[in-house]
Each structure stands twice: as structure tokens, then as C-alpha cells.
Amino acid sequence: MTKERVVAVRPVPEKISGIILDWAGTTVDYGCFAPVNAFQQIFIQRGIHPTDEEVRAPMGQAKRDHICIMLEGERLSGLWREKFGRDWTQEDVDEMYAIYEDILFASLRDFCEVKPGVLEVVEYLRRRNIKIGSTTGYTPEMMKVVAAEAKVAGYAPDAYVTPEDVGYGRPYPYMLFENMRKLELLTVAEIIKVGDTLSDIAECKNAGVYAIGVVEGSSEMALRQEEFEALSSEKQDNLRKTITKRYLDAGADAVIIEMRDLVALIG
């Protein structure tokens, strides 16, 4: 937890009233695998095999939007036409989303483990009387499962907001604003958001809050903890640099290697 593990292109707010955290890939589910597995399966069931990049590119968005973005991709839309002799429709999205929910709910409890360092960071924020909110691409029903499992493990933010709560998912900023309303936070100038996808960064920029990307265990890194730890030190460092650049290119104000580094950043 050193300054060398933090890259900041803009100083953090002098006063911090609230920190808003993403869920899968940021605070729980190292590598963000629960939604990835489900997205892969709904396409494979239709005889279409998406690449890992195609599955993860829209990560952080509302789940129904995620399916649409995947289908809008040139390769997948072409495969769909080859397979079915027509373009995909909103009815197809509805059917795929219903199956997605079934697949995800069947395994969701297996992907709720709190990531390393999260509980220590929360304890630090509590000591400083900083309120903790959260946003997600999950639905309210999914979050009932995830939040309950995380609470058992010791992680319970003061609020969480889903796309269904406000009518829009990322990159729209409304989940952040709803967190502010729930937590009675006055100004975006005193808010920090931490996430693990480029959609998180876009959400922050559209809301005008300080944007932080977390590297290890993120959807952008797309590795399980044991897979990452099995890499050589050189490969780990190269991967950290790649993900850091990706966040900064997307407009992040700062990047931290893991959640514990948030303490070093905000001091």
C-alpha cells in the first residue's frame, strides 16, 4: 500500500464526503466471472461462440443493454445472420435475457466472495466518517443475493443502486446521483467512485465525480486470483501497466492496483 501503486493524474478532492464502489470485479467476485459465464452461455446455446473480449467489452452496463451491445458487434451480428438467416430482434434479446437471469441466479452465490483489501478499506472509511455507496449492473433481485452474501462476509455499504432503480444503467450517471440522494451527499465535488470497467469510468465522467479504476481482480484484467498469481512477476507488471493505461485513456482521474491502495491515494 504505497504511493508507487497509485497513478493519479488529478488530485483527489480535498474533502471527501462519500465513496461509491462498484460490485462485481471491484468489491466482490475477483475477475468478475459471474456475469461473464452467463453471457457466454446464452450465446453458446444459440450456436454462437463469443470471444472473451466480446463478452467483456460492455461490462459494467445494465445486463439487457450488455446483450444488445454484444449483438450489435460486427462479428456477432454476422454470425447471427448466418445462423438464423435474419437480423436479431428485441424479442431475441428478451428471450436471451430471461435465460441469462436463470443461469446467473443458479450460480450467483458462488461468485460473491469479497475481494482482498475491501474490508480493510471499509474500516478505514468508517473511521473517517466517509459514507459508502455502490452502483451495479445487476438487477435488484440479483443484488438481494449478492448483498446478503457480502454482508455475511463483513461487507455492507450504506446504499446500493441498480439500473432498474433509476431507469438507466451506465454510462448514464443517474445511479451515482441516486446514491447521493440516499446518502444525503451535497455535491459531486466531494464524491469518489471506484470501478473495474471502462463503463464505470464513463459513468463517473458523466456525473462529474472523481473516477478511479482498480486493476487487480477487475473485469478489465479478466483473470481469476489464482491465474493472476501464477503469472511471472514480469507478466503481472506488464498486465498492470496495460490495464492502467486503458483506464487512463478512458479518462480515469486515478488508478489503483488493488483496493487497499485507495487508502494511500486519499491519505
Catalytic residue set: 22, 63
Cβ neighbours of residue 182 closer than 8 Å, sequence gap 6 or more: 133, 158, 159, 161
Q: Are 262 and 212 in contact (CB under 8 A)?
A: yes
Q: Residue 189 to residues 90, 227, 252: CA-CA distances in angstroms? A: 39, 38, 15
41-68 burial, b if ≥16 CB within 10 A, otherwise e?
A: bbbeebebebeeebbbbbbbbbbbbbbb
Contact status, residue 38 vs residue 108, Cβ threshold 8 Å: no
Distances in whole angstroms, Cα of residue 59 to Cα of each of 52, 56, 145, 199, 245: 11, 5, 20, 7, 18
3-class secondary structure, 56:
helix
Q: Which residues pair with 255 in a beta bridge?
A: 7, 213
Residue where the block lists cell 462485481: 24
